[in-house]
Amino acid sequence: MIRQYWRVFALTFAIMLVGAYQLYGVFSNKGYEPVQPINYSHVLHAGVMQMECLYCHNQAEKGPNAGIPGLDVCMGCHAVVKTDSPEIQKMAKYYAEGKPVPWVRIHRLPDHAYFSHRWHVEAGVACQTCHGPVQNMPVVHQWTKLEMGKCVECHRQENYAGQIHHPATFHEPEVTAAEVAEAPKGLTLEGAEEDPQWASAVSEFKKYHDAKSLSPDDTKVMLARLKQYQNDIYEHGRQYQTRGKNASIECSTCHY
Ligand code: HEC
Ligand code: HEC
Ligand code: HEC
Ligand code: HEC
Ligand code: HEC
């Protein structure tokens, strides 16, 4: 009797696995290349004309989304460039009617994962690292699965920082005299350890720094920075943080 149940269970489980795998294929989306309402080409604009990615996707510097440019950006040129083209006339019609172009979105992470373009742009990670050579794609497609393994593969590297040509954002910025003056007077690691208000800043500090190798002033400023950083996140939510102090691979880095 129990064995029979077991078989039914095993079979159901197998079917679920196959289903999940297929669903995964659908959602992982690699290669997804939908037909877009206007035949806009990255090869021409970002490739041949070498327009900066951020010229059009300037939200990427500011927050989670890279954003798709509004037609005012396009019409800046196309009010006069190539106005005899049917594609441009289509665009001019949307513009005149004040309607957004219904571009089909290609990249999308599931809700449980947390991502912001801003940290990556600020750290100097090139768009192409995640999106591939978009400037050579006549129609944008999803170049790689945006799967967790890809994120962690980069984050896990001990010196992933150094490989991204932007050392300034990785190492703690130099401690300045002004910061030393602003930090709470008399703040020490030992003192902070006793104070519940500082407990969580102290525990972060210990993950990243060895107090013995730091001067008292550096210790003070770095503790104060961590506390400020935690307050900012608490007040504004993670998407407004300037940047991570350390893009660690703790689960909570990317999952709520
Ligand atoms: C002239 C403006 C412009 C420039 C410059 C530009 N893009 Fe785009 N980009 C668009 C528009 C419009 C779309 C939406 C239509 C489409 O998918 O082709 C788009 C879509 C995309 C998408 C797909 C978004 C989605 O739906 O998931 C990616 C990725 C992208 N661009 C990356 C880049 C990169 C990388 C560069 C620089 C190499 C770049 N773009 C330069 C206008 C631009
Ligand atoms: C800096 C100026 C500039 C901007 C901004 C710009 N374009 Fe263009 N676009 C051009 C030029 C130049 C051409 C090539 C015209 C030619 O073939 O002579 C072109 C060609 C095109 C074409 C092909 C037209 C055809 O039928 O050959 C389309 C479609 C197009 N652009 C859409 C867009 C869209 C959508 C945007 C905004 C996301 C945009 N462009 C922004 C300059 C610009
Ligand atoms: C570290 C990887 C990574 C880098 C670097 C990166 N992106 Fe993205 N991009 C993503 C992911 C992941 C998504 C899906 C985000 C989501 O669904 O919330 C995405 C989505 C997009 C989208 C569509 C949705 C949106 O956010 O508006 C555009 C457009 C885009 N990226 C353009 C760019 C451009 C331009 C750059 C460079 C300035 C860039 N990306 C750099 C990973 C990256
Ligand atoms: C090519 C390397 C690379 C890839 C791929 C990458 N990241 Fe990052 N990530 C970085 C860098 C660099 C930073 C900035 C670290 C800093 O400023 O200290 C960062 C920062 C972050 C942060 C903020 C860290 C913090 O401690 O608050 C999150 C969250 C994040 N990435 C999520 C993702 C997700 C999700 C993906 C995959 C869709 C991804 N990253 C892919 C390099 C990468
Ligand atoms: C650097 C960012 C990052 C870190 C760190 C991270 N994840 Fe993820 N995780 C993602 C992204 C992006 C996805 C969505 C894409 C995917 O399904 O692969 C995801 C998906 C998942 C899923 C859903 C898989 C599915 O098939 O739906 C689980 C479960 C998960 N992560 C657990 C974890 C656990 C447990 C940890 C800590 C050991 C962790 N993650 C750390 C970025 C991250």
Q: Whose CA is nearest to atom 14 of ligand 2?
A: 82
If asked whether residues 212 and 147 sit together in one domain, one would say no
pLDDT exceeding 90 applies to what percent of the chain?
Answer: 33
If asked whether residues 145 and 233 sit together in one domain, one would say no
pLDDT tens digits along 68-106: 999 999 999 999 999 999 999 999 999 999 999 999 999
Which residue range(s) make up the domain with 238?
A: 174-254
If asked whether residues 117 and 135 sit together in one domain, one would say yes
Say what the pTM is: 0.77
Residue 96 belongs to some domain of the structure: no
Residue 35 belongs to some domain of the structure: no
If asked whether residues 196 and 152 sit together in one domain, one would say no
pLDDT tens digits along 19-36: 444 444 444 566 778 889
Residue 234 belongs to some domain of the structure: yes
If asked whether residues 52 and 139 sit together in one domain, one would say yes
pLDDT of 54: 95
Distance 117 CA to ligand 3 centre (A): 6
Distance 5 CA to ligand 1 centre (A): 53
Residue 36 belongs to some domain of the structure: no
Overall number of domains in the chain: 3
C-alpha to C-alpha distance for 123 and 116, rounded to whole angstroms = 12
Query: At 234, is the pLDDT very low, low, confident or very high (cuts 50, 70, 90)?
Result: low
Mean pLDDT of the 117-144 span: 85
Q: Whose CA is nearest to atom 2 of ligand 2?
A: 77
Q: Which atom of ligand 3 is nearest to the CA of 60?
A: 38
**Does residue 103's CB lie within 6 angstroms of at least one atom of ligand 1?**
yes
Q: From residue 160, how far is each of 133, 144, 253 by CA, in Å?
A: 21, 20, 16
C-alpha to C-alpha distance for 89 and 74, rounded to whole angstroms = 12
Q: Cα-flanking dihedrals φ and ψ of residue 179, to 5°? A: -65, -40
